[in-house]
Amino acid sequence: MLWLVDRLNLLLTYAIGLLLAVMTIAVFTQVTVRFVLTAAGINISAAWTEEVARYVLIWIVFLGAGIGCRKRQLISLEFIVRALPALPGQGLVHAGLLLCLGFFGLLISVGLAFMELGAVETSPVMQIPKAWVYAAMPVGAALMILNTAALMTEALLDRRDIRSIGATAEGVE
Taking all residues of the chain, what is their mean pLDDT, rounded to a whole number? Answer: 90
Query: Percentage of the chain with pLDDT > 70?
Result: 95
pLDDT value at residue 170: 42
Asked if the model's pLDDT at residue 166 lies above 60, the reply is yes
pLDDT value at residue 122: 92
Tell me how long the chain is.
173
Contact 12, 143 (CB under 8 A): yes
pTM: 0.87
Distance CA 165, CA 162 (A): 5
pLDDT tier, 167 (very low <50, low <70, confident <90, very high otherwise): low
Q: What is the mean pLDDT of residues 71-81?
A: 81
Q: What is the mean pLDDT of residues 82-111?
A: 92
Q: What is the mean pLDDT of residues 120-140?
A: 94
**What secondary structure, in 3-state letters, does the chain show?**
CHHHHHHHHHHHHHHHHHHHHHHHHHHHHHHHHHHHHHHCCCCCCCCHHHHHHHHHHHHHHHHHHHHHHHHCCCCCCCHHHHHCCHHHHHHHHHHHHHHHHHHHHHHHHHHHHHHHHHCCCECCCCCCEHHHHHCHHHHHHHHHHHHHHHHHHHHHHCCCCHHHCCCHHHCCC
pLDDT value at residue 105: 98
Q: What is the mean pLDDT of residues 41-54?
A: 91
pLDDT tier, 56 (very low <50, low <70, confident <90, very high otherwise): very high
Distance CA 58, CA 61 (A): 5
pLDDT value at residue 162: 83
Least confident residue range of 98-112, 139-153, 155-169: 155-169
